Structure 1
């Protein structure tokens, strides 16, 4: 499916939703931002302004967390040196080094719950990361989620490269920048009514 067809499909879908639900202008803007977000992997050589970094971090920290623990810590890499240190010499290192901004989303073990609910931090940080991705899109930036946790070797490599204190567990890294128009992202319509069940399973 080409980009024009994708955009037309999304536009029709959003118009249909708005007409049936009678959404306010604000609600339409929120839904549009969610439905048109896509993973962006190509960026132009332009730094991300500090004001936008601050807004994305505020959006990330507005996410819900269990028992309001807020077990997150964000490591912001916005210099070529720090990003190169993070990238290392891995499979995607050169691509990573061309990214203007990388935010590593970490869990702070001192703010986690304990016992059988300890791993709820993964849900907390996932909600926070989605907020960050949506904020980036709203600010005309592109972003893509790259996995670190639960790959133990990758977790250890990142901890070592960034000299993280022992209490921090890196969960993922978000590559962020101004999208390269030569590598346009393609939003996907992922709606599938067959993946929805109302009521008890029959």
Structure 2
């Protein structure tokens, strides 16, 4: 529970690159996610280029932190030949959460920037990075070493639990 309890959306980062070994661990975590009928629809674009990150930050209303992030991982769903075509968003969400949790475990901060199902946001990523069908930009995860240590917030709420 420690990684789950300490994970927070981090939008402010130190001026420090993320090591290649850690990037690989993040991607390995994503690819270990469960998926419907084991279809594993994910593909990834790892972005460290400052100009691209800045361009994304200028186009995406909720992606301003990308301008100072040392790294972003863009999750793409390959929607060609899916065994369970309606389930890929769930698959992508599971892969995304694995990245967020692994980032926390590695001492990194991260935040999920939604793209799908917003055609305009998806379009920006397609334009800036040249993403073509059948790939669907699902989200961007901004990653870096946090400027500040995040505090635990207990979000457990018994009122949200229903029993029958």
The answer to whether 1:83 aligns with 2:53 is yes
Give the aligned partner of residue 53 of structure 1. 23
Give the aligned partner of residue 175 of structure 1. 142
| TM-score, normalization by structure 2 | 0.92
SS at match of 1:161: helix
The root-mean-square deviation of aligned C-alpha atoms, in Å, is: 1.7
The answer to whether 1:99 aligns with 2:64 is no
SS at match of 2:72: strand
- Kindly indicate whether the alpha-carbon contact (under 8 Å) linking 2:65 and 2:142 is maintained by their aligned counterparts in 1: no
> How many angstroms apart in 1 are the aligned matches of 2:144 and 2:39?
30
Deviates most, 102-111 or 84-93: 84-93
The runs of 5 or more residues in structure 2 that have no matched partner are none
**Residues 10-41 of structure 1, C-alpha deviation per residue, up to 9 Å, x if partnerless?**
xxxxxxxxxxxxxxxxxxxxx11111111111
Q: Report the number of matched residues.
A: 164
SS at match of 1:110: coil
Deviates most, 31-40 or 184-193: 184-193
Please point out which of 115, 127, 133 is paired with 2:94: 127
Report which of the two has the higher share of helix. 1
Which is greater in Rg? 1
Please point out which of 130, 133, 136 is paired with 2:103: 136
- Kindly indicate whether the alpha-carbon contact (under 8 Å) linking 2:46 and 2:73 is maintained by their aligned counterparts in 1: yes
The runs of 5 or more residues in structure 1 that have no matched partner are 1-30
> How many angstroms apart in 2 are the aligned matches of 1:93 and 1:146?
6
> How many angstroms apart in 2 are the aligned matches of 1:136 and 1:93?
18
